[in-house]
Amino acid sequence: MLATQDTKSFQHALLAWYTSVAKDYPWRQTTDPWHILVSEVMLQQTQVATVLGKGFYTRFLEKYPTPASIANAPEQDILSAWEGLGYYRRVRNLQKAARAICEQHKGIFPTQHAAILALPGIGQYTAGAVSSFAYNQPQPIVDANVARIFSRLFDYQERVDSSAGTKQLWQWADQLLSHHEPRLHNSALMELGQQVCSNKSPQCLLCPIKPWCQTKNPEDLPIKKARKKTVLVDELCMLAICDGKILLHKAADSARRSGMWKLPEREHHELETQDLLLKTNYAITHHKVTLYIYQAPDKTEPATGEAWHSLDSLDKLPMPSPFRKALNSLLEDYFV
């Protein structure tokens, strides 16, 4: 831990650095709590470049500028707005949160940290982010950036993703938090983790808080539990097109990628004699999937969860990225 006076110097050095290098992300140009929340949920386990690069943030807020605007939106529409971002449960929770705001807070975004934390899909990090970024309230945040910074700052040679490690990180975040400039302080930590105290090849020579940093081997920190080993999986699907319609399958509520449409699956013995149209790979969580797409047998009938859709409506159906790409490729060939 740092002494009180040292903490102030630390905060000052961090802030001075930030004001000189800060990027002007769109979510830093607003204090609208709904806009801040949308950005934070999009950025959960998702890099800034992904959110900004394909225009997700701007497009989503044009369509859903307020909690009320999404509260009663169709499932298909919100999933389509999220298509390509992954972790599709996030947008469902975003809608649940919007409904809670409309029903329990009269449509006014809550200002109390506890009320924000109680919203669906909002955990400790996101609640702290909204509280500090939107309202400039003195709430600490710990995300992957902050965890990396503090594990190095205090040379923390234990796992950060354990119960004790998490508790320690939040304690440090709380103790170092600037109550004078919580918004800028938290933004500065995120920026530092991105630009300087990065996962690979940290730029210690450029670090504004180097005088306080205790580690000699930043590249070895933070310590986390080993990842689960990648599992290889085959996925056998079919392309069934008839009279301008295509057969698709909608993932059940409880299933992975719930509500998203993809090509229907069949057992190996049903497809082994069919033509193989496409073979491709994609990753999902800890799986590496080899996707085989066969020409469907004649007179294929819809199974549970499957339905015929007009080819014209394909663009409006929410679809996981691997299937969107595969289908684009297949249909390009189909119509040549």
Partner DNA sequence: CAGCCGTGGTC
Partner DNA sequence: TGACCAAGGCT
Contact residues: DNA, CB under 7 A:
25, 27-28, 39-40, 43-50, 53, 84-89, 93, 120-127, 129, 143-145, 148, 162-164, 190-191, 193-194, 199-200, 224-230, 256-257, 282-288, 320-322
Q: How far is CA 83 from CA 231, 257, 323, in A?
A: 25, 11, 11
Q: Name the DSSP class of 305.
A: T
CB of 203 to DNA, least distance (A): 12
Residue spans of alpha helices (H) in the chain: 4-21, 33-42, 48-53, 56-63, 67-71, 75-82, 89-104, 113-117, 124-135, 144-153, 163-176, 182-195, 268-271, 321-334
> Exposed, middle or buried: residue 320 (CB in 10 Å: 0-12, 13-18, 19+)?
buried
CB of 20 to DNA, least distance (A): 17
Amino acid at 46: T
Name which of 33 and 274 has its Cβ closer to DNA: 33
CB of 240 to DNA, least distance (A): 22
Rounded to whole angstroms, how far apart are CA atoms 323 and 327? Answer: 6
Q: Name the DSSP class of 265.
A: B
Name which of 18 and 64 has its Cβ closer to DNA: 18
Name which of 266 and 324 has its Cβ closer to DNA: 324
Name which of 67 and 121 has its Cβ closer to DNA: 121
Where b means 16+ CB within 10 Å and e means fewer, 231-250 reads eeeebbbbbbeeeeebbbbb
Considering the candidates 40, 181, 191, 306, report the single residue annotated as catalytic.
Answer: 40
CB of 77 to DNA, least distance (A): 17
CB of 311 to DNA, least distance (A): 21
Name which of 198 and 300 has its Cβ closer to DNA: 198
Which of 50, 49, 71, 69 is closest to 61 using CA atoms?
A: 69
> Exposed, middle or buried: residue 301 (CB in 10 Å: 0-12, 13-18, 19+)?
exposed
Q: Is 40 in the active site?
A: yes
Catalogue the active-site residues: 40
